[in-house]
Amino acid sequence: MSGEFSGEPQKIMVSLDAVGNTTKAVTKGFAIGSAVIAAVALFASYIETIGSELGITKTGSELFRDPLTSINVADPKTFIGLLIGGSVAFLFSSLAIRAVSRTAAVVVEEVRRQFREKRIMEGIDKPDHGRVIDICTTASLRELATPALLAVLTPVIIGFGINYFALGAFLAAVILTGQLMANFLSNAGGAWDNAKKYIEDGNEGGKGSDAHKAAVIGDTVGDPFKDTAGPALNPLIKVMNLVSLLILPAVINLQDNDLARFSVAGVALVILGASIAFSKRRRPGLDQGAAADVRTGEPAAHHDAASGDGPVADGPNRSAERDTATVEQPVEAPPGASSG
């Protein structure tokens, strides 16, 4: 919107954007509420599946009070599942926010590369929009892998690695912390965005003030909060409930076969751990001043700048020799200066 409007139309558009942020946060609150209601219904199906697999003939509230279906958090194993479930929403959110940071770093470095290697500001060359679109599209697919594995494999690890009671406590904690975290992220992100607009409107010192600098940082964090991590917690809750419901018969049938169930849990744990470790070491984020090629994940400094093979991760640390080699502009002498 910057540069498209000025004066009164700009103020109107900024106000509409602020109203949109608030409306969007409220809408996401309703969406996560629907996810919680669906999760509670699936949780009831979870208890009924336990009764069906164990051959319990009780129904209704009697089934829920049966010792073989009651989830007691006083049991240490069940409590461990509760603790892990409570932490999943935070881990998932951190993965989503880090993914946005890494992808943004690649986009920033690609923009720097194009400005450095092309004469865009002079109007001679046109920017390569397709490269940036390719970066975002590829990253959106690749960065989804680790959060998706977290949603699918964590119930497998808890169910086969501990027992179905721990898995039930795990789901309860995911529902509780997930819906609270989703509402917090959506509301906080929208509030930070609107705070920046409020300051840019001339309040609290206006543009260029310390308050504005802090608001820009808040908005930078708030965007992945309200547009990535917050909305993604909604499907996380649903996927974990569905996966748990699907694997529950196998978990119950293998509860006495320690070798089989520990093998399944171990393989899932290794895959998930390797995915998280690879995701964390793949590329630095924006705060580290370097990026990497979106397809290979290798540092962008390994690519040849002249070939356009990938973004060059020079950032603020690039050397003077590289700048000289990349952009050599003749310096015009001032009028009247002697050539000799």
Tens digits of residue pLDDT in 250-268 = 999 998 899 999 999 999 9
Contact predicate 300/291, CB 8 Å: yes
- Burial class from Cβ neighbours inside 10 Å (0-12, 13-18, 19+) for residue 128 reads middle
The fraction of the chain above a pLDDT of 90, given in percent, is 21
Which pLDDT belongs to residue 248? Answer: 92
Which pLDDT belongs to residue 5? Answer: 61
* Best CA proximity match to 121, nearest among 109, 130, 112: 112
Comparing 113 with 288, the larger pLDDT belongs to 113
pTM: 0.73
Mean pLDDT of the region 66-86: 90
Structure tokens at 161: 């690695």
Which pLDDT belongs to residue 84? Answer: 94
What's the pLDDT band for 316 if we cut at 50, 70, 90?
A: very low
Q: State whether residue 71 is helix, strand or coil.
A: coil
Mean pLDDT of the region 87-101: 89
How far apart are the C-alpha atoms of 35 and 29, rounded to whole Å? 10
Buried b vs exposed e over 300-339: b needs ≥16 C-beta within 10 Å?
A: bbebebeebebbbbbbeebeeeeeeeeeeeeeeeeeeeee
Tens digits of residue pLDDT in 281-314 = 655 444 444 444 444 444 444 444 333 344 333 3
How far apart are the C-alpha atoms of 44 and 244, rounded to whole Å? 12
What's the pLDDT band for 78 if we cut at 50, 70, 90?
A: very high
Which pLDDT belongs to residue 127? Answer: 83
Which pLDDT belongs to residue 161? Answer: 93
Which pLDDT belongs to residue 247? Answer: 93
Tens digits of residue pLDDT in 167-189 = 999 999 999 999 899 889 888 88
Of 147-156, 219-228, 229-238, 325-334, the poorest mean pLDDT is in: 325-334
